Amino acid sequence: MLLVCPECKNQIDLVSYPDLEVGHVVECEMCGITLEVNNMDGDQVQVEIVDEGK
């Protein structure tokens, strides 16, 4: 699965999230933003920003 941070374009490693599902939150370690998964379709993971972080 592939997830690119919408804020900093960092490619987030989803290996850390083996049980990722819609509604789960993922943190971008590059910019500290919190993203909530709102759709998963094959290899595409769509997220929305829930916390802008720093």
> Which spans of this chain sit near Zn ion (rule: CB under 5 A)?
5, 7-8, 10, 28, 30-31
Q: Which is nearer to Zn ion, 6 or 40 (CB)?
A: 6
Distance CA(1)–CA(13), nearest Å, equals: 9
Bridge partners (DSSP) of residue 48 are 36
Q: Which residues, including other chains, have CB under 8 Å from residue 14's CB and lie 6 or more apart?
A: 1, 2, 3, 20, 26, 45
The least CB distance from residue 51 to Zn ion, in Å, is 12
Which CB sits closer to Zn ion, 10 or 40? 10
- Closest distance between Zn ion and the C-beta of residue 7, in Å? 4
